[in-house]
Amino acid sequence: SWSIYFALQKHHARRYDGFSLGCYAVWSGTLLLLIYLPGLADAVMHAPPRAQWAVLMLGVFPSALAYLAWGFVLKHVDLS
């Protein structure tokens, strides 16, 4: 599935910039994870604040920045 993702991303890199590709990837993954939505609010409310901040920071910095960087690189390098 990861290689299919790369091939699709490379195909669409001609039309979209790295930011758009990263947004599409993240939002597509978010839509697929909506099956866990019914228990999410309760789990977040009962999680300690330290865990909530850790999830937020891990989602924003390593994940989002990695998707943006990968989208930029993929647009400028051949896929093999």
* Average pLDDT along the chain: 83
∠ CA 77-80-59, nearest 5°, is 65
Put simply, whether the predicted model's pTM sits higher than 0.75 gets the answer no
36 token code pair: 């866990």
14 confidence band (pLDDT: 50, 70, 90): confident
- The predicted model gives 13-27 an average pLDDT of 81
pLDDT exceeds 70 at position 11: yes
- Which pLDDT value is given to residue 31? 92
Q: Are 7 and 79 in contact (CB under 8 A)?
A: yes
